[in-house]
Amino acid sequence: MSLGQLSWPWQVWIGRALLRGRTEGEIVAALGVQGVPESVVRQALEGFGDHPLCEAILEEGTVAATQTAAMQVQFQQAGTGRVPRVELTPEQWWDGFVAGNRPVVIPGLARDWPILSSWRMQALKDREGHVALDFSLGREALDHPDVSAAASTVRGTLADLIDRCQDPSSGNDVYLVSRQRALHGPLRHLAAELVCAAAWTMPEDLPEGANLWIGPAGVRTSAHHDPTNTLFVQIEGRKRFWLAPPSWPEPGRGGSGYYAGRPLRELKKAHPSMVLTAEVGPGDAIFLPCGWWHEVQSLSPTVSVGLTNLRLRNRFEGLPLGGFQDR
């Protein structure tokens, strides 16, 4: 590589300018003001362009600049302290939020879906109460009930689960969680009813792309992130969400794998604008973008379904956020 007659500090200056996306014309003009002749600058630029290492670094620099821009967008959104709540068409959701990795509450998205009545607790109990399935019981006795869901998994009937969920004293002790795969096994026959979500998702990818959650008032899911985008639809009861952007390092400190080191509701006290809050009720949906930290609490007995059967590829391994493994 020949960088011509330019002094070392000016060569480094050109390298930095290229990494920041400055054009050759801008660099020539800037150095011209400093009295460096155009031919000398052009010769130096040719030297940079010739070297394969330089090309690789410039490519990496472009990726880094894009990531920095994405982080700035996330921080700007986090600055409001709350998840926006907007009525959207599927196209507007995709263009504005899925493509931009931004969370949003879509009120009433599922207001006309038949499952809003046929998947309420009482209806499920009447229709499918005899079905045996796995759920979590005894979560209160565990330090990390979500991390070690297997330690509290029991087998019982759906009617038994629902009775426990309707008992106000259950608190955080009982929960049917996604990992228990009810819609992929014992309640698989219900998954076809999610065809009502066809405008937003891909029915072809059912039942794999759907997860059922049934829990009592007070049940909590601790702060974590997922390698998928989730369109989370509330069927019965109300849930509160706390979210934080993937680019914010604070939740990850002291955490492991998918899980954060500290509850987001605690972090919100010190960083009120960085942790976003939202509430959803029957028929509302919240979009949980891939990588975003989220923590959830049921404010009343709840039935929800998380949809990951989106229309384009929806698994993003290798985010720089700690060890992803299959859940």
Ligand X SMILES: O=C(O)CCC(=O)C(=O)O
Site for ligand X, rule CB under 6 A: 213, 221, 226, 230, 232, 239, 288, 294, 296, 304, 306
221 Cβ contact partners less than 8 Å away, ≥ 6 residues apart = 146, 177, 294, 295, 296, 297
180 or 230: whose CB is closer to ligand X?
230
64 or 319: whose CB is closer to ligand X?
319
Q: What is the CA radius of gyration of the chain?
A: 25
Q: Give CA–CA dist 217/170, Å, rounded.
A: 8
206 Cβ contact partners less than 8 Å away, ≥ 6 residues apart = 191, 192, 194, 195, 309
271 Cβ contact partners less than 8 Å away, ≥ 6 residues apart = 250
18 or 177: whose CB is closer to ligand X?
177
Look at residues 234, 231, 242, 292 and name the one whose alpha carbon lies nearest to residue 94: 231
232 or 242: whose CB is closer to ligand X?
232
CB 226, min distance to ligand X, A = 5
CB 288, min distance to ligand X, A = 6
CB 87, min distance to ligand X, A = 22
Q: Give CA–CA dist 251/247, Å, rounded.
A: 10
CB 251, min distance to ligand X, A = 14
CB 132, min distance to ligand X, A = 23
Which residue is at the shortest CB distance from ligand X?
A: 221
221 or 247: whose CB is closer to ligand X?
221
Exposure b/e, 35-73, CB count within 10 A at least 16 = b: ebeeebbeebbebbeeeeebeeeeeebeeeeeeeeeeee
Backbone angles phi, psi at 137, to 5 degrees: -140, 135
CB 253, min distance to ligand X, A = 20
3 or 301: whose CB is closer to ligand X?
301
